[in-house]
Each structure stands twice: as structure tokens, then as C-alpha cells.
């Protein structure tokens, strides 16, 4: 037989586009439209419904950037449509090629009840099925004219990303506003032909099924009278019924479709707009659930649920009903889909505490999966945190975005730093916006790496970010692929149902040990420095506030500020969302974040001050030093307060060759006349830290213009060009005794550094007035250390990475994340670099010709200057603190990291404060001391082994404990775990490497 595939396939495309799809709505009549433009920020629904609108015509421009317009559409259903199905088609000026990221609307009835959202691929509102004719139609649309930031020419700098700079030019043109007859038979024919046409294109040409589909499609096209599509659609469908009824092969891949809308909690829109995006999508999805009995929708991020509850009660009522029906399902168990590289230990834990608690309290639902489809890589501390939260599974799709290496599994056990293993699934559909296209379904089946031992995968299905979620078309396509020869078999299921199947069929999946590094978006560890500093400072202040408030509550009856801390935690957790903390949002978001972090700091400092004043007493003229760090410092116990002298700083003297020497008897640092550290001698070990002939504290600047995703990405070629900033304007003694001040100018920017030596540590305070464009600023420390690997602090421990690039996997990690420290060591001697706020770093090695020694260069990333999506990213004044700690063991690195981030506080008073909790082994780090969230007054203590070894210790309480329980992160006693036996005011504990433990002490 002749091969006529192209002929039939092209015919299918043209007839679908030009004849069949237009026949879905065979008759229409225009609606009358009026509009009221809200003058500023969004107004309450009642105000929008009662405003006085002015007429507007289809074709007219509307919508200043970030504006809100309330449209009122009115009309009468024509009498001759009696008995037909009628819909309103409300096209605000959408571009269907972009299913999200544009204007959006939420349709209301005149009584204020929400109907559904309007989105680029979801423009219909059902009026009646059937109508009687003559019905009066009146609908209101709350339309948001959010500008398109990520355009067809992506990553161009734009001023649209902030209301203050976006101007007032209308962004959209009102398109179609009609009442129309909906011909369901034609609509079903479109779905039949799409499913079969898309499946056909994926099937092998030498297989019979492909040709069966081709011939059936041809017969259907023959059956259509192109002058009367509506009259002949049923006949065409009859020609397709046979091939649609042939069942899937027994070995077919099984896809659990989960209705979904990945809604970024802020990104190319501000936080306030996400509230409305969520309300629109939830309205769409509750409506679709009513129409489609098999459909299931899952929504993650407890924060988004809370927004609906608090701000859109009319939508919330519908959501609650659908949840109670088991079909609108809470997914994951986190407050937001956060970044997981940068959040600190406790913050990562609290994401789960607050996320899981919301779903438990509202619905009695406890999710066992972490749902993070879009997060930019996964720190190796996460498995233990997931487990400690009472969960056991993880879903993400993002690792498929890696630039270089293809991940070897789709279903596997992920093992974290402490050995905890989590059942993990990467959907092989490679998208979190699946639209049930045949190509996507076939790709999932082909791509699945675990064929032969497993056959189930998950497909998050629906448009996110203002696309409106799952569409009725996706549901109709899934129904046809439920059991269809040649296709993977698709069924709607909840994430929990999928995981149960996947675990059951795959009892011994392969294991991946260590971080799930995303080989992309590496610059998110640096972009928007102020957002990152706000996060780190908030985390530190939250620790202090909980510690001192709990101590004061137990000792003095101080009112523990449960509600304030709960609210502040949720604010900080929200800002760890995977486009806020990573610095990839528009200017508006980061401008607001800076203000929010300032308010958070002010409120937390107030709580800390009040608690410390309550503890310090009124008497005396002394000065107490409060130490919130987990280790004793300068004679002050961890978590306590005592009288203590000011620490002594090393002395300063002139250096013979020019420059200065700082020396405290433990460390001697030589700073040359360029302001560079040419020597840092650990006097106890008699050992030089800086590589011979090199200089540390070296600022280096690179051009930094990635191929795409400017705020997200730094591409490897950035390193090909570098300028060392060695010219100093001034190198002088600083104002403070024992300090050296270095000033440099470069480009349009200026750096001032102050260097001091104290307690064997070189402290470096760096102030940058940054006015560069598309540049990357690094601070380099070439170290005389020979090490194959180095440690970076992560949550509840640290992870190791290679210093070499033997394989493509190691080479791809050319920028990585640290929390408070990075540590390198040879047997017997090591060095740490600690930081109060930077996260990005790189480590490289060279071998010197002179002495064949190894120079391992650690560089911390200070600032970038991308121009998309915020064209002014990081412009202005920044302050950083770093410290170089020669001779540091891993334990020293841990301790110095905490010290730098939790400076001691000096408070008038003389009532020394004994710690609430004391641990007699420094390897154990207490990360939280707080009162139990349930208001019982119990004291909750969370701690972990911090060095990667074993620890045995006694935990002593500075109060009378009447009982103790081992709990999960949510402070619930762990079933089957024996509580340690209290004896003489303390309990003995024994911890595995990096093991995390939460103890809950009751008191009388
Ligand atoms: Zn996202």
C-alpha cells in the first residue's frame, strides 16, 4: 500500500483547525460590557460588584500594569436557543500560546458567589444545559491586568516588574465577550481526534496500530460534511469508536494523573497577586470537580490554602466541601514549596511543622509526601527532616532540568547525610504542567528509567501560575487514555494513592546517596543579597526569641508570645519560597521582602529585649552577656547569661615590607600594602594557611551574562575572564583599635573592608557600594591545604563535595551552597571560613610547580548584578561578615559559624541566667529551645550530632522536669521510641552521626 501518512496527518490538522474546532460554538451573540477600573490596589469583592462601571467595547484597550478592572457583562439568551447548551465566552485579550503569566479573571455571580476563573485556555462559563431561552445573564469579572514579564523574547530587562516603575500603558485589548451555543458532540469529536492524532504520531511506523489509527481518522474525516460539521460530527465519532475501544497492552506504563496547578507563591507577580491566582484556580478546580466525577485535584503549600481561608471565604467554602469529598487533596506537607538549599536547620523543619499542622487542624489530613516539583536542588539533610516530620516520601520533577548529567532513576530511595532513606519519585513526564498531550504521555512511558521492575509514574496535570489548573479538555483526554491500545494507561489519583502503588510494586528500589544537586540555577545562591541576609538574620533572631522567651517564661512567668512567634515564623517560611529566597522574583517582591524582614527583625528584637530584661532583673549596675549560641563562649554558658569581660582583640603593628600585622598570640595575619592577606599563621600549630605566593581576602570580579535565566543562572564560562581587585585606595589602621581598613574602587563601585584578629580568627567585615551590571563578585582564599573533599554546612549537619572535577557530576557542581561554614582539612589540621549571610561558594584546586603542594582555593560569592527579572538587582550598599579560622576542626567550624551568626548581647543587670538546657558534649548542637506549640508549657529541645560521628551526652534541665518524651518535629510523642530515663535532673542520650532528636520535657 502506498504511504499516505503525511497526507492524512496534514488533512487532520487543517480540518481540525479550520472547520471542526470553530464549530464547537456554532452560534453566538455579543454581550454588553461595562468596566470600572479600581484606582489602586485590589478592592474587596463587594466594592468591585457595586462600583459604577462605564461602557467598554470589544477591541478596546484596558488594564494598566498591575491594575484591577471590574467588568460587568449582561445579555439575554436568545429564545431560539431553547434546549441548547449555552456558554459565555469571555476573552479578556488572552494569548492562548501562553497558558498563564498574563491577565486573568475571576467570574462572580451578582450575589458575590465565585463561578470560575478566566485564563488563556479556560475562557468559558456555562450558562445553562439546556437553556429555556430568554434567560437574563449578568456576570461580574474581577480582572487583573498583570503584565507579561517573561515574553516571547525572554529575559529582556523590563521595568514592568514593579508597580512603581511599570507606567500606565494599557496591557490588553478586550477580545471576545459573547453568549454562544456549545455543541458538545463537536467538542467530543475534537478530543477524539486530538487523542488519536497525537497518539498516532508517537507510534512506530512499522507497527499495525499506527496504521489502524490513520485509517480510522481518515474515515472520520470522510464522514464529516465540511459545510455541516455540527450535523455530521456524530457520524465521524462513530468511525473512531472502534479504535478508541481497543484496550491497552498488559505491559503498558501506568500514569497516575494528579490534577495540579503549580502556583509560585510570588515570582513574576507580587505576593498579593498570588492570593488571587490561588482563588481563581481553586474556583476553577472546584467547578471542574463538580462536572467531572473521576477527576482529582491536589494543591500544595499550606500558605496558599490559608490565604483562601482568610481572604476568600466564598471560595474556601467550596474548597472545604471538595476536600471533605476526598477529591480536592492537600499535597505535600510544607508551608510553601520552599528552596531547600538555603533554609537553615530549624526553618526547614518548621516548613513541615506549619505545613502539616495546617492540614491536620483544618482537615485531619496527614500527608506523607513532600511535594516539591520545582525546587532548585535538594540538600542532603532533607530526608531526615522529612522523616522527623512524620512523612516518608518526596516528589520532585526539577532534577530533569539539569544541564549535564541525566539522573539514572525515576523511582528510588534517597539517602541523606545521616542515613535516612526516603522513597522518592521524579515524574518521567518531565513537566509539572502536563496537559495530557499524547507526546507527553508517550515521553513519560519511554523516559521512565525503571522499566522492567516498576511501571507506575505520576503526572502533575494542569496549567500553573495563572493558567487556571486542569482543564475539561485534559480530563476528557485522560478518560480516552484510561485503557487505550498504544498509549500508557492514565487514571486520576491522589499523590498518596500513587505512592502506595509505586512502593508496593518496587520494594527494593535503587539508592541515591547525598544531595540532589540541580545542575542549573546555581546563581540563586547569590542573587538578591538583601533577601538572603533577611532570611539568615530572621532565622537567627527566631532562635534567640524562642530561647530567651522560653527561659524567661520558665523562670519568671514571662508570657511566651506563642501567637507572635507563630505569625513571624510563617512570614519567614513564606519568604523561603523557591523564587523569593533564591532571588528570582521581580523587583516588587524583593523590595517588599526587604521591608518585611526589617519589620520581622524589629519585632523579634522587641521580644528578645523584653525576655532578657525580665531575666536580667532590675538590680545592680552590672552588664550581663547573653549567649544564644549552642556552645559556651567567653565563660558564658550556651543558652545562658553571665558577667563576662569583653573579648580581647589582637594587636596591630606595622609590617616591615609595608602593610600591617594583626596578632593575638594564636593567629598572626600579615596584610600587605595592597590590603591583601599574604600570611595567616596558626601560631599554635606553627602552620601557614595561605598558599605560598598567593594572597587571601582577594576580591575577584567576573563578567556574568548567562545564556538565559539571568537571576537564576551563572554559566561555567564566567570563570574564563577574571579581574583581581588588587589596587587599594587606602590601607590604614581602622578607627577601632587593632583593625586594618582597606578601601578599593572599581568600575562604579567601592569596597571598604575592616580586618581584625580575635580568638585565633581573622574577622573580615566587607561593605560594598555596588553599582555594576552583569558582574559576579567573589572573595577568594587560596589555602595551602591538600584535600579531595570539603564540607559545607547544611541542615542538621554538613555535606561533602569534591575539590576536583574527575567526572561530569563533580564538574557540574561549580557553584554550591553553604550555610554558616565551609571547612577543609588535612589529617590533623584544617581551616574554616564562616559567614553571617552568604550561601554561594566554589572550591577549586591547583598543584604548584614550586613545591608540588596543593593550593585549594575557596571563594565565597558576594554579589551579582543580573538584569532580569529585576533590572536593578543588588544595586546599592551591602554589608557582609566573614571569618577565616585557621587550625579549625569540623567542631570548631560548627561553633564559629554559630558564634558569628549569634553575636552576644550585653544587657544591664546582674542576675546571671542559668541555661534551661545544658548538654555535656560539644558535638551535640541544640538548634531550638522553645515552649511547646500547644501552649502546655512543656519545654521542647531539638538537637543533633553535628560532626558526623557518634555522641553520648547528658542533657540537663535547669528546671524541674516531670517527664520527658522523644517527639517528632510536630512535638508529638514518637510511638515505639523509648523515652530516655531521667536521673538527677538529666537524661542520657546516644546519637548516630548527624542524628536529629526532639525531646519534650513536661514540668509541674
Ligand atoms: Zn515554581
Q: Tell me which residues are annotated as active site.
A: 374
Q: Please give the Cα distance from 512 to 451 (Å, whole number).
A: 18
CB-based contact 429:254 (threshold 8 Å): no
Q: Measured between alpha carbons, how far is residue 515 from residues 8, 376, 380, 787, 792 in Å?
A: 49, 12, 4, 20, 12
Residues of the chain with pLDDT under 50: none
465: left (phi over 0), alpha (psi -120 to 50) or beta: left
pLDDT computed for residue 748 by the predictor: 98
The phi-psi region of residue 436 (left if phi > 0; otherwise alpha if psi is between -120 and 50; otherwise beta) is left
Residue 949, all three cell numbers? 560521628
Q: Could you read off the pLDDT of 797-852 as tens digits, one per residue?
A: 999 999 999 999 999 999 999 999 999 999 999 999 999 999 999 999 999 999 99
Q: Whole-model pTM?
A: 0.98
Q: How far apart are the C-alpha atoms of 289 and 193, rounded to whole Å?
A: 24
Using the mean position of ligand 1's atoms as its centre, give its distance from the Cα of residue 714 in Å.
19
Q: Residue 375 C-alpha to ligand 1 middle, in angstroms? A: 7
Task: Using alpha carbons, select from 577, 768, 581, 736 the residue that is nearest to residue 651.
Answer: 736
In this prediction, residue 630 carries a pLDDT of 98
Measured distance CA(1004)–CA(994) in Å, rounded: 32
Strand-pair category, 254-259 with 489-492: parallel
Show the CA angle centred on residue 898, arms to residues 897 and 902, nearest 5°: 125
Q: What is the pLDDT of residues 354-371, one digit of tens each?
A: 999 999 999 999 999 999
Residue 1004 is predicted with a pLDDT of: 78
Rounded to whole angstroms, how far apart are CA atoms 200 and 210? 5
- CA dist., res. 241 & res. 245, Å (int): 6
Count Cβ atoms below 10 Å from residue 384 Cβ, excluding itself.
26
CA 584 to ligand 1 center in whole angstroms: 10
β-pair partners for 724: 700
Identify whether the C-beta of residue 302 lies closer than 8 Å to the C-beta of residue 353.
Answer: no
Q: How far is the CA of 264 from the centre of ligand 1 (A)?
A: 5
| CA-to-CA dists, residue 497 to 69, 73, 367, 453, 552, angstroms | 42, 42, 11, 19, 47
Residue 818 Cα to ligand 1 middle (Å): 22
User: Which pLDDT score, from 0 to 100, does residue 981 have?
Assistant: 75
- pLDDT at res. 152: 87
What distance in angstroms lies between residue 339's CA and the mean position of ligand 1's atoms? 10
**Distance (Å) from CA 849 to ligand 1 centroid:** 47
Q: Which of 813, 823, 818, 859 is nearest to 837 (CA)?
A: 818
Q: Tell me how far the alpha carbon of residue 892 lies from the centroid of ligand 1, in angstroms.
A: 37
Supply the pLDDT for residue 619.
65
Element (H, E) at 140: strand 136-145
Amino acid at each position: 500500500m502506498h504511504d499516505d501518512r503525511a497526507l492524512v496527518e496534514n488533512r487532520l490538522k487543517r480540518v481540525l483547525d479550520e472547520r471542526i474546532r470553530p464549530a464547537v460554538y456554532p452560534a453566538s451573540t455579543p454581550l454588553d460590557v461595562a468596566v470600572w477600573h479600581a484606582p489602586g490596589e485590589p478592592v474587596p469583592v463587594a466594592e468591585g460588584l457595586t462600583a459604577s462601571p462605564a461602557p467598554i467595547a470589544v477591541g478596546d484597550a484596558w488594564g494598566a500594569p498591575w491594575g484591577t478592572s471590574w467588568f460587568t457583562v449582561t445579555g439575554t439568551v436568545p429564545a431560539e436557543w431553547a434546549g441548547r447548551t449555552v456558554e459565555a465566552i469571555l476573552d479578556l485579550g488572552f494569548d492562548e500560546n501562553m497558558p498563564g503569566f498574563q491577565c486573568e479573571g475571576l467570574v462572580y455571580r451578582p450575589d458575590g458567589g465565585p463561578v470560575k476563573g478566566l485564563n488563556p485556555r479556560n475562557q468559558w462559563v456555562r450558562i445553562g444545559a439546556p437553556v429555556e431561552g430568554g434567560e437574563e445573564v449578568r456576570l461580574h469579572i474581577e480582572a487583573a491586568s498583570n503584565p507579561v514579564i517573561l515574553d516571547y523574547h525572554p529575559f529582556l530587562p523590563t521595568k514592568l516588574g514593579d508597580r512603581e516603575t511599570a507606567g500606565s500603558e494599557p496591557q490588553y485589548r478586550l477580545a471576545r465577550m459573547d453568549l454562544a451555543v456549545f455543541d458538545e458532540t463537536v467538542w467530543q469529536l475534537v478530543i477524539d481526534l486530538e487523542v488519536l492524532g497525537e497518539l498516532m504520531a508517537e507510534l512506530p511506523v512499522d507497527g499495525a496500530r499506527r496504521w489502524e489509527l490513520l485509517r480510522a481518522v481518515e474515515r472520520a474525516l470522510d464522514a464529516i460534511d465540511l459545510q455541516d460539521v455540527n450535523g455530521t460530527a456524530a457520524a465521524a465519532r462513530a468511525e473512531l469508536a472502534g479504535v478508541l475501544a481497543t484496550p491497552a497492552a498488559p505491559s503498558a506504563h501506568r500514569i497516575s494523573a494528579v490534577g495540579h496547578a503549580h502556583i509560585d507563591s510570588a515570582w513574576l507577580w507580587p505576593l498579593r497577586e498570588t492570593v488571587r491566582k490561588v482563588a481563581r484556580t481553586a474556583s476553577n478546580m472546584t467547578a471542574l470537580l463538580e462536572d467531572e466525577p473521576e477527576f482529582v485535584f491536589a494543591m500544595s503549600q499550606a500558605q496558599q490554602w490559608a490565604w483562601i481561608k482568610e481572604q476568600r471565604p466564598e471560595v474556601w467554602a467550596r474548597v472545604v466541601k471538595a476536600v471533605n469529598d476526598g477529591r480536592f487533596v492537600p499535597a505535600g506537607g510544607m508551608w510553601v514549596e520552599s528552596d531547600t538549599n538555603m533554609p537553615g536547620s530549624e526553618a526547614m523543619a518548621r516548613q513541615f511543622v506549619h505545613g502539616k499542622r495546617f492540614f491536620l487542624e483544618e482537615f485531619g489530613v496527614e500527608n506523607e509526601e513532600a511535594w516539591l516539583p520545582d525546587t532548585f536542588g535538594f540538600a542532603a539533610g532533607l530526608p531526615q527532616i522529612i522523616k522527623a516530620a512524620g512523612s516518608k516520601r518526596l516528589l520532585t520533577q526539577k532534577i530533569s532540568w539539569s544541564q549535564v548529567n541525566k539522573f539514572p532513576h525515576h523511582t528510588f530511595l534517597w539517602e541523606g547525610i545521616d542515613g535516612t532513606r526516603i522513597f522518592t519519585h521524579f515524574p518521567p513526564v518531565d513537566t509539572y504542567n502536563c496537559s495530557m498531550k499524547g507526546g507527553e504521555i508517550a515521553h513519560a512511558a519511554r523516559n521512565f528509567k525503571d522499566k522492567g521492575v516498576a511501571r507506575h509514574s505520576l503526572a502533575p496535570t494542569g496549567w500553573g501560575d495563572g493558567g487556571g489548573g486542569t482543564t475539561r479538555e485534559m480530563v476528557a483526554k485522560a478518560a480516552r487514555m484510561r485503557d487505550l491500545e498504544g498509549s500508557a494507561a492514565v487514571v486520576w489519583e491522589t499523590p498518596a494513592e500513587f505512592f502506595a502503588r509505586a512502593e508496593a510494586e518496587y520494594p527494593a528500589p535503587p539508592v541515591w546517596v547525598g544531595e540532589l544537586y540541580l545542575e542549573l540555577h546555581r546563581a540563586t545562591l547569590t542573587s538578591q543579597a538583601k533577601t538572603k541576609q533577611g532570611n539568615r538574620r530572621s532565622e537567627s533572631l527566631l532562635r534567640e526569641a524562642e530561647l530567651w522567651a522560653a527561659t524567661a517564661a520558665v523562670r519568671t512567668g514571662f508570657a511566651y508570645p506563642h501567637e507572635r512567634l507563630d505569625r513571624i515564623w510563617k512570614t519567614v517560611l513564606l519568604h523561603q519560597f523557591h523564587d523569593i529566597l533564591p532571588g528570582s522574583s521581580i523587583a516588587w517582591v524583593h523590595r517588599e521582602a526587604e521591608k518585611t524582614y526589617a519589620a520581622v527583625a524589629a519585632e523579634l528584637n522587641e521580644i528578645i529585649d523584653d525576655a532578657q530584661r525580665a531575666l536580667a532583673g532590675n538590680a545592680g549596675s552590672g552588664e550581663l552577656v547573653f549567649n544564644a549560641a549552642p556552645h559556651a563562649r567567653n565563660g558564658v554558658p550556651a543558652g545562658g547569661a553571665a558577667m563576662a569581660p569583653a573579648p580581647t582583640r589582637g594587636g596591630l603593628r606595622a609590617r616591615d615590607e609595608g602593610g600591617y600585622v594583626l596578632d593575638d598570640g594564636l593567629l598572626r595575619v600579615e596584610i600587605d600594602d595592597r590590603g591583601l592577606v599574604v600570611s595567616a599563621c596558626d601560631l599554635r600549630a606553627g602552620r601557614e594557611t595561605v598558599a605560598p605566593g598567593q594572597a587571601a581576602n582577594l576580591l575577584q570580579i567576573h563578567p556574568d551574562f548567562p545564556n538565559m535565566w539571568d537571576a537564576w543562572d551563572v554559566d561555567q564560562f564566567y570563570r574564563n575572564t577574571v579581574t583581581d581587585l588588587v589596587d587599594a585606595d587606602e590601607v590604614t589602621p581602622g578607627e577601632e583599635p587593632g583593625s586594618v581598613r582597606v578601601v578599593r574602587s572599581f568600575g562604579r563601585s567601592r569596597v571598604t573592608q575592616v580586618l581584625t584578629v580575635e580568638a585565633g580568627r581573622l574577622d573580615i567585615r566587607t561593605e560594598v557600594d555596588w553599582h555594576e551590571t552583569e558582574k559576579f563578585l567573589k572573595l577568594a582564599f587560596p589555602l595551602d591545604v591538600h584535600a579531595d573533599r570539603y564540607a559545607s554546612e547544611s541542615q542538621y549537619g554538613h555535606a561533602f563535595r569534591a575539590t576536583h572535577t574527575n567526572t561530569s557530576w563533580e564538574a557540574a557542581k561549580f557553584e554550591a551552597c553553604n550555610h554558616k561554614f565551609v571547612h577543609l582539612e588535612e589529617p590533623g589540621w584544617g581551616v574554616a571560613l564562616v559567614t553571617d549571610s552568604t550561601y554561594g561558594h566554589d572550591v577549586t584546586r591547583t598543584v604548584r610547580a614550586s613545591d608540588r603542594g596543593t593550593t585549594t582555593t575557596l571563594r565565597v560569592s558576594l554579589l551579582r548584578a543580573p538584569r532580569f527579572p529585576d533590572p536593578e538587582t543588588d544595586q546599592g550598599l551591602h554589608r557582609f561578615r566573614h571569618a577565616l579560622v585557621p587550625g579549625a576542626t569540623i567542631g570548631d567550624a560548627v561553633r564559629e559559624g554559630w558564634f558569628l551568626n549569634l553575636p552576644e548581647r550585653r544587657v544591664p543587670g546582674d542576675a546571671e541566667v542559668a541555661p534551661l538546657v545544658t548538654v555535656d558534649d560539644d558535638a551535640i548542637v541544640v538548634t531550638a529551645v522553645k515552649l511547646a506549640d500547644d501552649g502546655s508549657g512543656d519545654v521542647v529541645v531539638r538537637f543533633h550530632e553535628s560532626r558526623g560521628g557518634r555522641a553520648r551526652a547528658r542533657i540537663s534541665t535547669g528546671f524541674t522536669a516531670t517527664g520527658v518524651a522523644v517527639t517528632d518535629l510536630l512535638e508529638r510523642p514518637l510511638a515505639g521510641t523509648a523515652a530516655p530515663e531521667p536521673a538527677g535532673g538529666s537524661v542520657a542520650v546516644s546519637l548516630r552521626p548527624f542524628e536529629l532528636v526532639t525531646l519534650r520535657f513536661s514540668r509541674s
